[in-house]
Chains A and B, each alone.
Chain A
Amino acid sequence: MDDLLAEFVAETREMLGALAGEIVAWEANPDDRARLDTIFRFVHTVKGNCGFFDFPQLEALSHAAEDALADVRAGHRRADSRLVDAVLAVIDRIGVMIGEIERGEPLSEATDDVLIAALAGELDGGAISQIGSVRHSPVTPAAEQRTIRLPVDLIDQVMSGVSEMVLARNDLARRMQSLGADTGLEAPFARLSALIAEVRDAITRTRMRRIEGLFSTFPRLVRDLSAELGKQVFVEIENGEVELDREMIELIRDPLLHIIRNAVDHGIEAPAERLAAGKREAGMLTISARQSGNTIHIGIMDDGRGIDVDKLAAKAIAAGTHTPEQIAAMSREEKIDLIYEPGLSTAETVTAISGRGVGMDVVRANIEKFGGTLEIESLPGEGTRFLICVPLTLSILPSLTVEAGGQTFAVPRSYVEEIVSTAGGNLEFAQIGERRYLTFRDRRLACISLGEALRLERNDDPTLFVILRLGWGDLYALEVDRIFDHHELVIKPLSPGIMKSGLFVGCTQLDDGTPVLVLDVAAIGYGAGLPRELHRPSAITAHAAPRAEREGLRVILFRALDGERRAIAMSVVEQVERAGATAVRRPGPDAQIVLGEDILPLAGVPADVELPERITVLRLCEGGERIAYAASEVIDIATLDGVLKRVNGQTHVVGVTLIDGETAELVDCHALFASQAAHTAGHGTLTCRLDGDETWMRNFLGPIIEAAGYRIVDEGPADVAFVEGDIGDKDECEARKAIRLRSAPGPADGPDSIYRYDRAALMAALLRAGQELAA
């Protein structure tokens, strides 16, 4: 935390220094919008940073200044001389506080209240002079630190000098080798090498820092924010071990903080709203960083409500920046871009966390200032994705060098998921037309030949595959001829003529000075026809792999519990899993099974057969309906091309066919789902009554109870009753079985008392009640 604090102090000091000139200019001309914006950004940033640290005085002061300036920006207030004085006094006061923080002293009790009142315009002439005295109080110089701030150019110069030294040393080494042994130079040469390596390490460290250091502060930030807002947010951080220029880290910190705050505050919904929308109670915030040559991609993705473009458009019209006609002509993407308009926000209330949404114009301005870009994608109800790309002119890129078509190339290591080889003999391939697929952890990955992608030679019998993970989870397998080594390479920009091909992101030199091209693996993958799965990274699974081009129905062949070989259309099978026999309720035609948090009707269970201890369950899904099918084992995947013979007297079987010379019954999916539809339409044998908060129980509990096979009755006796905790015990007697719900988590206050959002326990209780009643 001390590091962070020191950085905060240094950064604020630097901004104060830069601001000095702006303040004078603003004082001279308070109507100067650009100066006003700069000062506004300063107090906004200070306020934002205070969220990290516990400086309530500083936060209150900067927040007050921000409020006042926001009014001026919005045109509600004029920047008169009193306001200017007050703002300047606040900035000086911030300088004093920063000094105190730096020296580790407690913040002095000063006239902050007066300042805040002055900002709010509540003071008259008398108090202004007091402000003046505050303003001109001398700022004591900070105690000298053992750090200096150097211009980046100078470090660049030293860095490239060191790179040249390494090359000169390598040249010397080659020459010494040709001289043969015992030149007497070995010992000094070894010493020189060690020294150069040391200097190189040190100089590299001065500029580079792992982005992890920045990211590691986010989970805590999100935790505090979400607690304050009464939300639940999981943070997933993927840093790809990216190392980034120290300076760049300082530059991206603020934009990232803004975006994360906005995502938690405005993007992710409250738990109840999420549940009502059919989402998990806790929101998911994914923060990732990846290096691609000279660019670092930082993604921030939430699964919240998405940007409300209509509200944004309405605000733009209300603010007069756009006419209704202009808005009507805009696409959704263009409307999303309205978020960059200064002063527009969809937030209804001003909160201490993300302010009034001034964020995005400031955020984009900051990112663009250092040559980066910001992209926003948002789907209503599904979430928002921010992608920040920042350039990296000088960076150490951990890379893997590979060979294809007789040439060496480097692949940024942050993309490399794994290296697999056919040498082990257990790789599984599929061939779809000309495209080869490799099965890797149950996913079929398209193989792309690097030689072919680069129009070099294609190796028709590849043995080595580099599994690459692109942004947002797209995976593919790159076929290469050889894999050399991991290197830490200094990446250099390529000339525009070469960049035009779009296949390379830069070039680098191996230790012997040979230039090596660094591949843009994303461009190669997408260029070779890999589909983009931007919004739904989870959508690509083995089941979604393209089907065989042969005619005929793809089926999963399995052995049913009664010993028959059966086949079922592959398209309806969502998942295959193993389950214990104890999860099965009421074996027979009306059997049900508990899978995770779901109770599903279970087909394929004969009434008179002893269940094995563990069964295989095919999860079938069609049009939102889910059914499980019991099997003893899955045999194979096959294509139906034989003749189907109709059989009589068999329910849920369409007919019999020959697969690989043996008979197999084809499961009648239509009959399966038809019977399930009849089941959910209200023919449940058991009844259930809901006692308590009518709406909540109807809307939240009702569906899952019906799905579990119960029929809901409004009043009178029922088999099972759900009772909310505070309703008297008397009512329970009208039900054969009561399940009590309480509204708070924590230890149970009685038997059958369940926290109302403990879904797993609810499901288990329903199943248990059903079993007890049936017995």
Chain B
Amino acid sequence: MNEMLLVVMLAGRRAVIPAVVVNSVIELGEVTPVPRTAPHIAGLAALRSRPLTLIDCALSLGLDREPTDCRTCRAVVVEHEGHLYGLMVEAADDIVAALAEPGPLGADPGPGWSRVASARIETAAGALPCLDIAALIAGPEEALAA
């Protein structure tokens, strides 16, 4: 099975998102911040007439960093439970084919990654972690509460 995967750059590391769930990859224009919400929710943008909830993936990893700059990042648009989300990553350029079925992660990939990475996949670009979209959207607080 040659599943197509979108390679993204997140917190300086490469990871993949299954291409079937990706609606599009966009550059962001104006972003409306949302007050009093979790830090990894970067704000709202509009994709045509639908609202797009922006997820700052680096903050969602739980990494202690500056918020990602909306003007330089890319947003991977995915639909999750009826809502559109924009996953903000540093780059999203390549599409690669999976060379094997996803396997276990193996050794602990480090803080944050163990929560948002669901599996390890061998691809044409090497072995990469596959991102769990639900975990990215939920963010670090949800994990603490659970």
Contacts and interface: CB of A to CB of B under 8 A. Distances in A.
Secondary structure of the A side of the interface? mixed
A497 B49 contact: no
A407 B45 contact: no
A514 B41 contact: no
Interface in B26-78: 30, 32-38, 41, 44-46, 48-53
Contact of B53 (A455, A497, A501): A497
A507 B36 contact: no
A318 interface: no
A522 to B, nearest CB: 16
Contacts of B41: 497-498
A493 B81 CA distance: 12
B35 A492 contact: no
The interface size bin for chain B is 20 to 34
A407 B32 contact: yes
Contacts of A504: 34
B51 A492 contact: yes
Given A163-B49, A515-B51, A493 B32 contact: no
Contacts of B50: 492
B36 A516 contact: no
Contacts of A407: 32-33, 35
Interface string A682-705: 000000000000000000000000
Nearest to A456: B35
B137 interface: yes
A372 B94 CA distance: 46
B43 to A, nearest CB: 8
A498 to B, nearest CB: 5
A496 interface: yes
Contacts of A515: 32, 44-46, 51-52
Secondary structure of the B side of the interface? mixed
Interface string A506-550: 010100011111000000000000000000000000000000000
Nearest to B48: A164
Contacts of B44: 498, 507, 515, 517
B35 A514 contact: no
Contacts of A490: 49
Interface string A470-510: 00000000000000000000101111111011011001010
A160 interface: yes
A514 B51 CA distance: 9
B80 to A, nearest CB: 8
A170 to B, nearest CB: 11
A497 B48 contact: no
Interface in B8-33: 30, 32-33
A454 interface: yes
A503 B137 CA distance: 19
Nearest to A165: B49
Contacts of B129: none
A710 B38 CA distance: 71
A513 B46 contact: yes
Nearest to A497: B41
With a 10 A CB-CB cut-off, give which of B33, B81, B85 has the most chain A CB atoms: B33
Contacts of B34: 498, 501, 504, 517
Nearest to A163: B49
Contacts of B49: 160, 163-164, 167, 490, 509
B141 to A, nearest CB: 10
Contacts of B83: 493-496
Contacts of A163: 49
Contacts of B32: 407-408, 514-517
The interface size bin for chain A is 20 to 34
Contacts of A514: 30, 32, 46
A408 B37 CA distance: 16
Contact of A501 (B33, B36, B48, B139): B36
A163 B51 CA distance: 13
Nearest to A508: B51
Contacts of B81: 496
Contacts of A456: 35
A513 B52 CA distance: 12
Nearest to B85: A495
Interface in A196-232: none
With a 10 A CB-CB cut-off, give which of B36, B37, B138, B139 has the most chain A CB atoms: B36
Nearest to B33: A407
B38 A497 contact: yes
B35 A503 contact: yes
A500 to B, nearest CB: 7
Nearest to B40: A497
Contacts of A493: 83
With a 10 A CB-CB cut-off, give which of A160, A455, A514 has the most chain B CB atoms: A514
Contacts of B37: 497-498, 500-501
Contacts of B138: 497
B35 A494 contact: no
A497 B51 contact: no
Nearest to B53: A495
Nearest to A490: B49
Nearest to A405: B35
B38 to A, nearest CB: 6
Interface in A166-195: 167
A516 B52 CA distance: 12
Contacts of A408: 32
B35 A497 contact: no
Contact of B139 (A497, A516, A517): A497
A24 B54 CA distance: 52
Nearest to B138: A497
Contacts of B30: 514
Contacts of A405: 35
B35 A507 contact: no
B127 to A, nearest CB: 31
Nearest to B38: A497
A475 to B, nearest CB: 24
Contacts of B51: 492, 494-495, 507, 509, 515
Interface in B96-146: 137-139
Interface in A73-130: none
A167 B48 contact: yes
A497 B48 CA distance: 21
With a 10 A CB-CB cut-off, give which of A160, A494, A498, A515 has the most chain B CB atoms: A515
13 contacts: A405-B35, A407-B35, A454-B36, A494-B51, A495-B53, A495-B83, A497-B53, A498-B37, A500-B37, A504-B34, A507-B51, A514-B46, A517-B44
- 6 tightest A-B contacts by CB? A454-B35, A495-B53, A495-B83, A515-B44, A163-B49, A515-B32
Given A405-B35, A408-B32, A514-B32, 19 more contacts: A160-B49, A167-B48, A167-B49, A455-B35, A455-B36, A490-B49, A492-B51, A494-B53, A495-B137, A497-B38, A497-B41, A497-B139, A498-B41, A500-B38, A503-B35, A509-B49, A514-B30, A514-B46, A517-B44
Interface of B: 30, 32-38, 41, 44-46, 48-53, 81, 83, 85, 137-139
